[in-house]
Structures are given as C-alpha cells and as structure tokens.
C-alpha cells in the first residue's frame, strides 16, 4: 500500500523565519511529487511539481526537493510571512494511465507577525 506521511502535523513560527516541511513516501517507484497549499474552506492550489527525474523545483521563496532513494521530499519556505499561513499538502503521483494521487495528512502552518 502506498502511504504518504507529513511531519510536522502543525507548525507555528514568527514572521521572517525559514522553515522546512517534510514529506515521506513508502513506494520509491514514484512518478511525480506535487506540493499544494490549502486555505481554510478552499480548494487546493498547486505550488510545485517535481517529476521523478528531477531533484528540486523552485518558485519564488519556495523550494521543493525530491530524494527517491530515501523516499523523501521537503518544502523549504524562505522568509516566512503571515500570508503563508495555510495547510500544506504533499501528494505522490502514480505512473499508471489514470494517475492516482496519494496525499499526506498535511502540515498546518501558522506564521504570526
């Protein structure tokens, strides 16, 4: 069974801190790894997509890495801001024709001024 685990479950930091969110998966035959952001009561917004052949992706203050051999991905957020407060979800993408996503439980991030 494919599982995705995110640590920590919740994180509270002061504004300006750099932080790391962790995601681990049990099946190394990964197709891609996608990080999403979810604001309360809203849908999922895609942040970064890492294909299995890549090791990292960057967008602005966000950097995501992928290490298939250890079954880990990390999302690094630089210089955190209160607007970064949200739930962050990682999802492992399957390589079958229908491409099922398996999600972690998420990390609830609070950045306080």
Partner 1 sequence: SQTIHQWPATLVQPVGSPLSLECTVEGTSNPNLYWYRQAAGRGLQLLFYSVGIGQISSEVPQNLSASRPQDRQFILSSKKLLLSDSGFYLCAWTGGLLVRANYGYTFGSGTRLTVV
Query: What's the rounded Cα separation, in Å, for the pair 30 and 94?
Result: 6
Of 10-18, 59-67, 74-82, 92-100, the window that binds partner 1 (rule: CB under 8 A) is 92-100
Is residue 59 within the footprint of partner 1 (CB under 8 A)?
no
In the structure encoding, which two tokens stand for residue 46, read together?
Answer: 């895609």
Please, which residues bridge with residue 48 across strands?
A: 35
Please list, in sequence order, all residues whose beta carbon lies within 8 angstroms of the beta carbon of residue 110, skipping any fewer than 6 positions away.
10, 11, 12, 13, 85
Among 86, 91, 109, 111, binds partner 1 (CB under 8 A): 91
Note whether 42 binds partner 1 by CB under 8 A: yes
Contacts with partner 1 by CB under 8 A lie at 31-32, 34, 36, 41-46, 49, 51, 89, 91, 93, 95, 97-101, 103-106
């Amino acid at each position: 069974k494919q599982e995705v685990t995110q640590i920590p479950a919740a994180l509270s930091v002061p504004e300006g801190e750099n932080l790391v969110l962790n995601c681990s998966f049990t099946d190394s035959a990964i197709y891609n790894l996608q990080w999403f952001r979810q604001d309360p009561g809203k849908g999922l917004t895609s942040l970064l997509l890492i294909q299995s052949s890549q090791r990292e992706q960057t967008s602005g203050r966000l950097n995501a890495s992928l290490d298939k051999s250890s079954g880990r991905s990390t999302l690094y957020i630089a210089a955190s801001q209160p607007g970064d407060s949200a739930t962050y979800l990682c999802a492992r993408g399957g390589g079958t024709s229908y491409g099922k996503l398996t999600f972690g439980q998420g990390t609830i991030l609070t950045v306080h001024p």
